[in-house]
Structure 1
Amino acid sequence: MSDCLVVGGGIIGLSLAYELSRRGMSVTLVEQGEWGGQASSAAAGMLAPLKEFTAPGPMLDLGMESLALYPEWAAELEELTGGDVQLSLDGLLTVALNEEEVQQLADKYRWQKEAGHAVHWLSNTAQVKEIEPLLTDQVQAAIYSPYEGHINNRMLLRALATACQLQGVKLLSGCVVSGIAVKGGKVIGVETSSGSLRAAQTVISSGAWVGGMMEMLGVSVPIRPVRGQIAAVSSVGIPLRTVIFGTTGYITPKKDGKIVLGATEDESGFQRDVTMAGLASILQGTMPYVPALHSATFLEAWGGLRPATQDGKPLLGPVPGWEGLSIAGGHFRNGILLSPVTAKAMADFVEKGETERLLPFLPARFL
């Protein structure tokens, strides 16, 4: 019997298992497929809360807190595992190509600056292209955020899986959960294809599959899959310096010789396939920003299922009426960004019962 059983081995489940094990707890981590094989490995690894969240509030606060945790967190993982997670917090550009976009961007810059965030307004083409020369001459203005960036999410997932193993987490991949075990009104673990697993606390962190897991108890949770399609091209001959966000797409130069382009959002149920329409949308949405992309060598495209909630906020914390059961899911496009802060806040709950940091995100708001 473990202190905690975590169901779902994506970025959130791996991060939580790692954090709990660092605190001396015995942890079992269950994943029906491969570690990070769903949305986590299909992400672009963006660490950009000022771009992702369009207004002040709990989501932006959570994102900024998590971003601040990343340097130390990544360094710890690299030291423990000997792996490189390719963390890059060298800044990013959010750009405008026409007057309407300039006005929208100026409004965003205004509230971000008033809130005390480290952002800079670039008011003309020359200023923007000084930071990123490969941008189109059509660019009119931009917000430059010098402390945001990205990480290689696939390398991060490998490092987390290795770290969990080194910390003594019991790792069960290819293990399908068939039922949630309840005794005397308390959740005591799960039934799986590998047998019965028991724990004092059970956390469901299975991404877009959280809803299906909770249906085993007759509990309806408003998490649905939203497909995101992403592509990658070679950076050979395209010395892009900076992450670029536009209204129709983003362009992310990686340290492994790829430029990641994204991304679509479409309601496709649990279908992950890349479609021609999706690929066309990605290319049409990104090439106008960097003309050099027209000659880039295409490498790959992939899809992932992002776990979305009705109000855009994750579900973090205990499930009302079910002692011993909690959820850590519904992070939509921001699982990579929010993984360190989610792990710490959820570990505080599992270890000490603390819910103060979780208040805006408690599942009780829906249940």
Structure 2
Amino acid sequence: MTDCLLVGGGIIGLSLAYELSRRGMTVTLVEQGDWGGQASSAAAGMLAPLKEFSKPGDMLELGVASLRLYPEWVSALQEVSGADVQATPSGVLTVALTEEETASMEKKYRWQKEAGYNVQWMSAREMQELEPLITEHAMAGIYSREEGHINNRLLLAALVLACRNQGVKLLSGCVVTGMATEGTRVVGVQTAAGKLLASHTVITSGAWAGIMAGWLQCPVPIRPVRGQVAAVSSIGFPLQTVIFGTTGYITPKRDGKIVLGATEDEAGFQREVTLSGLTHIVNGVRPYVPALQTAAFLEAWAGLRPATADGKPLLGPVPGWQGISIAAGHFRNGILLSPITAKVMADYLESGQAEPLASFSPARFVQSPAAI
């Protein structure tokens, strides 16, 4: 018997396991494949809530709160794991190429500035001074100097090490086949290797969370959206800042790569890289930094991002059941939202503090079994 059993070893499951173990709980984390092998790997590791969320609201507030947790969170994680995750607060530059994009960007800049966010309006000349490789056709931009990125692969590896060092029981290659229940209480899960029992179980299985909730007759609207990403060599291309456009993004890493992305493919649970996906990525980033056409290609990969019907994650208890919660549905923002998700979910599991979860409760979609 363990205090908390987490099912799904992506960035959310690993972050929550790390946080719960820091608080002295016994934790078991189960993953059917490789750690972080789905949405967490199909990411550029960007920490950019002001870019990701286009209007004020609970998602922007959640993203900004998570960004503010990142420095201390990463520092503690690196101390426990002994690994450098290459957190890089180098700023994010959002670029407009047309008059229409510029007008839309001006509106966004005004409300962000009025809300007190540290953003700067940039002319074409100022953008060229910041990043000389940016296209001469760039008209204007918003520079957010407090945002940045992290190496998501190194982050995942560090979380695995930290969890192991803090006594989390890590079970990879373990296939969960169903829930273990007693009446309306979930007491653990059934696996191909036998039953695992826990005081509380949390579904952290990303795009598979809807399937698992369906075992409890509480299906939630989470679906997989394939994200394809590519990387080229940074040799000869001294970019320093994350560059965002309407058709793609460019993220220079400290390991010699420039990550380019990304697609959003409705392809079910297929995660292959496709030629059309690569074409989409190349055509999407070319208008912003044309010189990258001559960069050496390194690799491409894909993963399944968990999308929800309203674009918000599911955080909190499963209606109609005891001993079971969900933390899933972060779509392409799992890396950004991992520290705040771990904190608010751990607060709930430790002391029942549910108010911060209210906007993201699974109950907004789910009827309890008694009501069906």
Name the TM-score, length of structure 2 as normaliser: 0.97
Corresponding letter in the other structure for 2:34:
E
Q: State the match for 1:180 in structure 2.
A: 179
Corresponding letter in the other structure for 1:83:
A
The 5 A counterparts of 1:306-345 are 306-345=305-344
Q: State the match for 2:33 in structure 1.
A: 33
For each residue in 1:273-318, what CA deviation from the matched residue of structure 2 results, as whole angstroms up to 9, or x when unmatched?
A: 1111111010001011112101100011111111000100000000
Whether the 8 Å CA contact 2:252–2:258 is kept in 1: the answer is: yes
Q: State the match for 1:170 in structure 2.
A: 169
Q: Residue 129 of structure 1: CA displacement?
A: 1.0
Corresponding letter in the other structure for 2:304:
L
Q: Residue 41 of structure 1: CA displacement?
A: 1.4
For each residue in 1:207-263, what CA deviation from the matched residue of structure 2 results, as whole angstroms up to 9, or x when unmatched?
A: 000011112122211000011111100001111111100110000000000000001
For each residue in 1:153-172, what CA deviation from the matched residue of structure 2 results, as whole angstroms up to 9, or x when unmatched?
A: 00000000000000000110
Q: State the match for 1:274 in structure 2.
A: 273
For each residue in 1:55-96, what CA deviation from the matched residue of structure 2 results, as whole angstroms up to 9, or x when unmatched?
A: 000000000000000011111111111111000012010001
Q: State the match for 1:189 in structure 2.
A: 188
Q: State the match for 1:23 in structure 2.
A: 23
The 5 A counterparts of 1:226-265 are 226-265=225-264
CA distance in 2, matches of 1:48, 1:253: 14
Q: Residue 131 of structure 1: CA displacement?
A: 1.0
CA distance in 1, matches of 2:37, 2:273: 16
Corresponding letter in the other structure for 2:271:
R
Q: State the match for 1:44 in structure 2.
A: 44
Secondary structure at the counterpart of residue 333 of structure 1: coil
Is 1:218 matched with 2:217? Answer: yes
Q: State the match for 1:63 in structure 2.
A: 63
Whether the 8 Å CA contact 2:41–2:302 is kept in 1: the answer is: no
CA distance in 1, matches of 2:9, 2:20: 14
Whether the 8 Å CA contact 2:90–2:147 is kept in 1: the answer is: yes
Corresponding letter in the other structure for 2:104:
Q
Corresponding letter in the other structure for 2:95:
V
Is 1:144 matched with 2:143? Answer: yes
User: Structure 1 runs of 4+ off > 2 angstroms?
Assistant: none
Corresponding letter in the other structure for 1:258:
K
Gaps of 5+ in 2: 367-372
Q: State the match for 2:369 in structure 1.
A: none
CA distance in 1, matches of 2:82, 2:18: 16
Secondary structure at the counterpart of residue 332 of structure 1: coil
Corresponding letter in the other structure for 1:336:
I
Is 1:202 matched with 2:205? Answer: no
Q: More displaced, 197-206 or 35-44?
A: 35-44
Q: State the match for 2:116 in structure 1.
A: 116
Corresponding letter in the other structure for 1:194:
A
Q: Residue 194 of structure 1: CA displacement?
A: 2.5
CA distance in 1, matches of 2:193, 2:171: 8
Corresponding letter in the other structure for 1:16:
L
CA distance in 2, matches of 1:31, 1:250: 30
Q: State the match for 1:302 in structure 2.
A: 301
Corresponding letter in the other structure for 2:180:
A
Q: State the match for 1:291 in structure 2.
A: 290
Corresponding letter in the other structure for 2:307:
A
CA distance in 1, matches of 2:183, 2:357: 27
For each residue in 1:15-60, what CA deviation from the matched residue of structure 2 results, as whole angstroms up to 9, or x when unmatched?
A: 0000000000000000000111111012110100000001000000
Corresponding letter in the other structure for 1:116:
G
CA distance in 2, matches of 1:34, 1:337: 21
Whether the 8 Å CA contact 2:15–2:339 is kept in 1: the answer is: yes
Q: Residue 184 of structure 1: CA displacement?
A: 2.5
Name the TM-score, length of structure 1 as normaliser: 0.99
Corresponding letter in the other structure for 1:138:
H
Secondary structure at the counterpart of residue 333 of structure 2: helix
Corresponding letter in the other structure for 2:217:
G
CA distance in 1, matches of 2:252, 2:73: 22
Secondary structure at the counterpart of residue 40 of structure 1: coil
Corresponding letter in the other structure for 2:209:
V
Is 1:74 matched with 2:102? Answer: no
Gaps of 5+ in 1: none
CA distance in 2, matches of 1:292, 1:99: 23
Task: Count residues in correspondence.
Answer: 366
CA distance in 1, matches of 2:249, 2:202: 33
Q: State the match for 1:87 in structure 2.
A: 87
RMSD: 0.7
Identity of matched residues, %: 69
Whether the 8 Å CA contact 2:90–2:240 is kept in 1: the answer is: no
Corresponding letter in the other structure for 1:73:
W
CA distance in 1, matches of 2:170, 2:266: 32
